[in-house]
């Protein structure tokens, strides 16, 4: 092995650590399992799903997330629970635990019929290495639907844990408007995977409560940046807001209002916040009316 090759592997090891293992942060401690151990503990399954980027059916080998969750966290029943999936590159997915009960998902480790474990990322428009473990979902394909949400399909998985409730520091006050509350829910689903708010969230982007750049801009600029960052900064690494999502402009405007709301809260603003599920229920009832 020449020096260049040695340093490449050394850098990779330092950057990503042991990506052959998933850490499960259970109520009784951290349990680390490699592929062989997962195969012994869980039934291996095949799952086929439609890839919107390649326009092809992909078949993966993997293990049921529902089985994994209830094996390590038997009491995950609360509507406020989130599954936190951390990846080796700092990306952190926060997915409502209830989605794993209503939708079939799997920790995949191999693409059947292909020695290369890769996919095309439609947001980055490039082929990405999926690492050892990749979360995939069994979805029905509807033309034009943005079903393959990136925050639901994290790759190079490092660890999995259950979050009982999102912290109050990222929630709107109980007195906030419906638009601000909708903005919070959309931020959690679309943005928290990369960005922190008051120290909570993903590691890829900056903590938006500490960043001053966007705060100096007007609302029009902020909404445009959320919509398509590269239109304002060609070097931006931030993904654009999902292209085919319904009421896209309304969602972007509400996220902008939510961020402005949080920046306006001083240290003395300690009013109570709703539980995540309470806020969802309130907004759903208002929509139904």
Q: Which residues of 233-270 are buried (b: 16+ CB within 10 A; e: fewer)?
A: eeeeebbebbeeeeeeeebbbbbbbbbebbeebeeeee
Range of the domain at 90: 15-163
Measured CA to CA, the distance from residue 210 to residue 198 in angstroms comes to 8
pLDDT higher at 123 or 81: 81
195-224 per-position pLDDT tens digit: 889 889 888 888 899 888 899 999 999 999
Instruction: Tell me, yes or no, whether 173 and 154 share the same domain.
Output: no
Share of the chain above pLDDT 90, in %: 40
Q: pTM (2 decimals)? A: 0.77
Residue 154 CB partners (closer than 8 Å, separation 6+): 85, 87, 91, 93, 134, 135, 193
254-269 per-position pLDDT tens digit: 999 999 999 888 665 5
Split into its structural domains, the chain has a count of 2
pLDDT higher at 147 or 232: 232
- Final residue before a domain boundary, out of 163, 190, 212: 163
> pLDDT at residue 123 above 70?
no
Instruction: Tell me, yes or no, whether 19 and 157 share the same domain.
Output: yes
The CATH number given to whatever domain includes residue 58 is 3.90.420.10
> pLDDT at residue 143 above 90?
no
Instruction: Tell me, yes or no, whether 212 and 190 share the same domain.
Output: yes
Instruction: Tell me, yes or no, whether 146 and 253 share the same domain.
Output: no
The CATH number given to whatever domain includes residue 231 is 2.60.40.420
> pLDDT at residue 280 above 80?
yes
Within a domain: 10: no
pLDDT band with cut points at 50, 70 and 90 for residue 144: very low
Instruction: Tell me, yes or no, whether 177 and 57 share the same domain.
Output: no
Within a domain: 251: yes
């Amino acid at each position: 092995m020449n020096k260049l090759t040695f340093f490449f592997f050394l850098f990779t090891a330092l950057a990503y650590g042991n990506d052959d293992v998933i850490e499960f942060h259970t109520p009784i401690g951290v349990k680390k399992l490699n592929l062989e151990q997962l195969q012994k503990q869980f039934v291996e399954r095949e799952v086929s799903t439609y890839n919107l980027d390649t326009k092809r059916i992909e078949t993966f080998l993997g293990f049921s997330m529902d089985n994994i969750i209830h094996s390590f966290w038997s009491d995950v029943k609360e509507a406020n629970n989130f599954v936190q999936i951390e990846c080796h590159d700092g990306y952190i997915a926060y997915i409502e635990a209830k989605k794993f009960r209503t939708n079939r998902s799997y920790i995949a480790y191999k693409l059947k019929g292909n020695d290369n474990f890769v996919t095309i990322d439609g947001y980055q428009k490039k082929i990405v290495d999926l690492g050892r473990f990749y979360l995939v979902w069994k979805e029905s394909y509807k033309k034009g639907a943005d079903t393959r949400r990136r925050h639901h399909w994290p790759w190079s998985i490092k660890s999995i844990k259950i979050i009982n409730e999102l912290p109050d520091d990222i929630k709107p006050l109980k007195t906030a408007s419906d638009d601000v509350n909708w903005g919070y829910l959309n931020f959690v689903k679309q943005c928290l995977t990369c960005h922190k708010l008051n120290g909570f969230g993903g590691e890829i982007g900056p903590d938006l409560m500490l960043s001053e750049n966007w705060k100096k801009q007007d609302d029009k600029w902020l909404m445009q940046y959320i919509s398509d960052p590269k239109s304002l900064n060609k070097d931006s690494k931030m993904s654009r807001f999902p292209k085919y999502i319904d009421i896209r402009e309304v969602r972007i405007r509400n996220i902008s209002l939510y961020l402005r709301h949080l920046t306006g809260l001083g240290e003395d603003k300690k009013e109570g916040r709703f539980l995540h599920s309470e806020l969802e229920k309130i907004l759903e009832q208002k929509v139904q009316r």
